[in-house]
Structure 1
Amino acid sequence: MSLSNLRISMRLSILTGVLCIALVTTIFLGRSGMSSILNSLHTVYEDRTVCLVQLGTMQRNLFRIRVRILKMLDMNAYDATMVAQIADAEEVINKEWKTYLTTELAPDEKIIADKIKAALPDYLSAKNQVIELLKANDLDKATSLANGPVLQKFMYLDDQIVANIELQERIAKEEYERGKANASQKINTSLILGGLALALGSAIAFVIAGSITGPVNGIKGCMEQLTAGNLSAEVPGVERGDELGQMAKAVGVFKEGLLRVKEMEAEQEAQKIRAEAERKAAMRQLANTFEGSVGKVIQTVTSAATQLQASSTQMASTAAETSAQATTVASASQQASANVETVAAATEELSSSITEIAKQVERSQSVASRAQDEATNTNVQIRALSENANKIGEIVNLINDIASQTNLLALNATIEAARAGDAGKGFAVVANEVKHLATQTGKATEEIASQIKAVQEGTNNAVHAIDGITKVISEMGEISASVASAVEEQAAATQEIARNVEQAAAGTAEVSSSVVTVEQAARDTGAAAEQIHSAATDLSQQSEFLRAEVGRFLDQVRSDQSDVKLLNWDNALNMGIGTIDRHHREMFDEVNRLYVKMSQGNGAEAGQGMITLIDTVMENHFREEEEVMSRNSYPHLDEHRRHHRDFLDRAKSHKSAVQSGDPTAAAKMFEYVATWLTNHIQMEDGKLANYLRAKKVA
């Protein structure tokens, strides 16, 4: 069986088995050697060391007995204490001797032991005789016996014990030498076997390691090539039957997965391109639809504004004509009043000037008839003015409806932009501007509606006043007819004529007053018409601005995202001051660059870039601009500086929202900065530019 087909665990088991066999063999030999050494030590200790101790104890106690006897002889007296000590020593000797005899004795040792066994009782008996003689106070015999036979017996017994001790030392040394040689042999054998086991284990380990590391390195190199993107690399070892073969097969699966991933990435890239094309097509379609809807709205608003301007012009013309007619009526009524007063003054001379009175009355009738005709004509014109005002009201309602529809379309555009995600954020910003313009249009139409209401009220008042004038003039005609009839009967009706003349004078005065009211109403109507004309002009300008903004918005939607611009530099924004104008253009360019980045989906990075723009570029620009104003004693420096501070304060909330991760914060901050920057340059910086040009600084 090939080694490559053995599992790694089997190979490691073989290595482990060989090492275990070597280890067991080494342990067995070591244990055998240690057992032999242990037996030698046991023999040395039990049979030699213990015996040496026992023999030494017997020897010491024999000397103790000898010393005690000699002391008593030296004292020439029997001492019971010493005798008791001698008895104790004798007891120890007997005890140790009995214990010694229980051990295994070597042949030479047994010979010496037999000699000691025979000599020990003989010595102890002779010693007792000496003690008895001392007890009997026979010192001479005791001394003679102690220094004679007893001494010889003692010396013989001591020699045998010494010989036995020397024998024990010799045998112990022999046992030690045998154990030492045996241990050395066992150690050498263990070292040889251990070395052989180590060499065999190392060889097996080297072979097994080579059978593992080689394929592993091959698989590793293959994986490195796959990681580097070389998907054509061959996977080695797939034919192996071990774990490395399984690893190679797994790497092959990994390679196939990478190939599939690469294919999927290519497919995803193609899908991404198709999706981008579809998105652009959808955005263009949406732009076309929006252009069609909003274009109609703008066209309607523009048409309505034009019609409103024409109607306001017609109202102004009608009001002027009404004022002129009212002036004519006033002049005629004043003339009639003067004539009636003349008639009243001549009543006393009525009899002599009847003919003149008849003429004046006839002329008064003619004037009254003319006044009635003029009043009727004025009434017709005022009613036409009222109808025009009503038509203007209808147009205003139409404009209001159009503003509502524009607002609705802006809302729909905002929704579509939200669906488009980050790509529609620019769309949402412009849609918000469209919504803002629609709101301004609604406010303008409300203002126009209020002005039209005032015009309608003025025209209604004028109609009522002219109706009163007509009635008064009609009464004047009746009165003049009565005067003519009364002339024929002047003699009998002088008092009646005077009364009628007074009524005619009062009527003409009332006509004059009413005509003045009509003239004032006509002037008010003219002023209202001027206001309507101004509002219509503003509405027309707003519609044109809306048209331009919608056009810019649609151009951005139809263009590639890299061409999107939030701010467009216009020559009207030039102040004529090189440094400040350059700063303004740089800020516009940076805002547009960051806006493109946001439109491409990098909202967080674009928001952070806008924060940096505000905190560095804009603040430095504000500082330099304020230094220019301070050097040139600009009278509105504090107000201009307050605008700068207000902007920076309001920008803090936008910056906090961006830093908190609000997904809509970046778009809101772009809208705020773009709107503020454009308005500030046009208004505040425009005033500064005019001042500097007047001082010939620019």
Structure 2
Amino acid sequence: MRLSIKSCLIGLFCLTAAISGTQGLVAVSQLDSIQTQVDEVATNSIPSVDVLHRLNTLTRDYRVKFYRLIVASIDKTSIAQNKTVLINTADDILRLRKQYEPLISSAEGRSLYEQYAGRWDMYLHELEPIIAAAEAGHRDEALAMLASGARAVALGKEISDLLQKDVALNKKAADTATHSSLVSISQAVRTAYVAMGIAVVTSLGAMLFCLLGISRSLVDMAAAMRRLSGGDVAVVVPSVGRRNEIGAMASAVQVFKNNLIHTRRLEEDTALARASAEEQRKAGMRQMADSFEAAVGGVVGMVSSSATELQATAEQMT
């Protein structure tokens, strides 16, 4: 299988990008979860606890002011004043209830609030005849009704208990959201460390691949090419046979080396052929000279013999 350097680098960079992107998405998701939980605590649980505490306090104040209206009012003026204070407290309770109702976010909280609202209405209904007797000037009758109003006392206690349960429920929700936030933060930190570790390992792998698989091979290839350019055909071309771009480059350098070796062989053969031709030419010239010398010697011998014969003939004629 051919795995090119381009493919390796693209794969490594894509893996690093995928790790970084995944880390970012996980971090954003966990931060969003943490923000939701913190918002739940900041905008719901804590305000709910605060409103319920104030509502419980106003409920107790209402009961105290009711007792003050019945017990401490001795004339119409004090009755009117205490009745006004009681009405104002009831209005404050109503405002707090309207403020709390949008904060209810669970079925259990809704159930507790509905129980509270029902007990509160029943409690107010129990107090109406006592307040009416006090306003009518029947103080003794009102005190007697108050003394025998065990139902109102029980309802007041139930109301306080229900508000305390609702406070505990919201505190529990706040604690749960806080714990979940801490867990999400811990998970986000672990995820960040894991992703960072993977990214570091991937980056080191890419660095080592570039250093050992590319840079060193190119350095060795450059050294081999310098030696070849200097005429050293004994050099071994590195990375020959690799199925990537470095291998293709090595194959091209190997072809250059083979061509250089072939060229040198041709030059050597040409020089040998030239030397052999020169030797043959010299031998031929020597042979021609010898033949010429032999031919000339024969002619000279014949001329000398003829001259001798001619001299002898001349002497005979003389």
The 1-side partners of 2:110 and 2:54 are apart by 19
Please tell me the residue identity of whatever aligns with 1:69. F
Distance 2:79 2:170 in 1: 37
- Relative contact order, CA 8 A, sep 6+: which one is greater? 2
Give the drift of 1:25.
Answer: 1.1
Whole-Å Cα distance in 2 between the matches of residues 76 and 26 of structure 1? 75
Alpha-carbon distance change, 210 to 65 in structure 1, aligned in 2, over 3 angstroms: same
**2: distance between equivalents of 1:50 and 1:44?**
8
Aligned pair partner of 1:54 in 51, 54, 58: 51
Residue in 1 that maps onto 2:72 = 74
Residue of structure 2 equivalent to 1:21 = 18
Q: Is 2:209 aligned against 1:207?
A: yes
**Alpha carbons 2:9, 2:206 under 8 Å: kept:** no
Give the Å deviation of 1:110: 4.0
Normalised to the residue count of structure 1, the TM-score between the two structures is 0.29
Q: Which residue of 2 aligns with 1:136?
A: 136
The answer on whether the counterparts of 2:65 and 2:86 sit within 8 Å (CA) in structure 1 is yes
Q: Which residue of 2 aligns with 1:122?
A: 122
- With over 3 angstroms needed to count, the CA separation of the structure-2 counterparts of 1:53 and 1:39, relative to structure 1, is same
Shift in Å, 1:206: 2.0
The yes-or-no answer on 1:30 pairing with 2:32 is: no
Displacement of 1:82 in angstroms is: 4.3
Query: Could you tell me which residue of structure 2 aligns to residue 63 of structure 1?
Result: 60
The match for 2:287 is none
- Cα contact 2:41–2:174 (8 A) shared by 1: yes
The structural deviation recorded for 1:62 is 1.2
- The 5 Å alignment of 1:534-545 reads none
**Is the 8 Å Cα contact of residues 217 and 239 (structure 2) preserved in structure 1?**
no
Letter of the aligned partner of 2:26 in structure 1? L
State the alpha-carbon separation in 1 of the partners of residues 64 and 20 from structure 2: 62
Unpaired segments ≥5 residues, structure 1 = 250-698
C-alpha distance in 1 between matches for 2:146 and 2:183: 50
Check the 8 A contact 2:119/2:155 in 1, yes or no: yes
Paired AA for residue 120 in structure 1: W
Taking the aligned partners of 1:109 and 1:101, their CA distance within structure 2 comes to: 10
Q: Which has the larger radius of gyration?
A: 1
Tell me which residue corresponds to 2:183: 181
Letter in 1 for 2:190: N
CA positional deviation for 1:54: 2.9
**Is the CA contact 1:52–1:165 (under 8 Å) kept in the aligned structure 2?**
yes
What value does the CA root-mean-square deviation take over the aligned residues? 4.2
Give 1:141-540 correspondences, 5 Å limit: 141-146=141-146, 148-149=149-150, 150-215=152-217, 232=230, 241=245
Cα distance in 2 for residues equivalent to 1:215 and 1:122: 91
2:119–2:159 Cα contact (<8 Å) kept: yes
CA contact under 8 A between 2:130 and 2:145: conserved in structure 1?
A: yes
Report the Cα distance in structure 1 between the residues aligned to 2:120 and 2:213, rounded to whole angstroms: 80
Verify the 8 A CA contact 1:15 1:205 in the aligned structure 2.
Answer: no
Q: Deviations over 1:165-197 (max 9, x none)?
A: 112222332343344435434543443343223
2:292 is matched with which residue?
none
Cα deviations by residue, 1:637-666 (Å, 9 ceiling, x for unpaired): xxxxxxxxxxxxxxxxxxxxxxxxxxxxxx
| Alpha carbons of structure 1 residues 130 and 198: separation in structure 2 relative to 1, 3 Å | farther
Give the paired residue count. 239
The AA in structure 2 aligned to 1:74 is A
TM normalised by structure 2 equals 0.58
How many angstroms does 1:23 deviate by?
Answer: 0.8
> 1:32 deviation in Å?
2.6
* SS of aligned partner of 1:167: helix
Shift of 1:133: 3.7
Corresponding position: 1:87 with 2:84: no
Alpha carbons 1:130, 1:146 under 8 Å: kept: yes
Q: Does the CA contact (< 8 Å) of 1:11 and 1:208 recur in 2?
A: no
Measure the CA separation in 2 of the matches of 1:146 and 1:205. 88
Q: Look up the SS of the partner of 2:72 in the other structure.
A: helix
Give the AA of the match of 2:15.
Answer: V
Identify unmatched segments of 5+ residues in structure 2: 254-318
Residues 1:205 and 1:86: Cα distance change in structure 2 (over 3 Å): farther
Rounded to whole Å, the distance in 1 between the matches of 2:198 and 2:62 is 64
CA drift of 1:202 comes to 1.9
Superposed CA deviations along residues 450-492 of structure 1, whole A, max 9, x for unmatched, are xxxxxxxxxxxxxxxxxxxxxxxxxxxxxxxxxxxxxxxxxxx
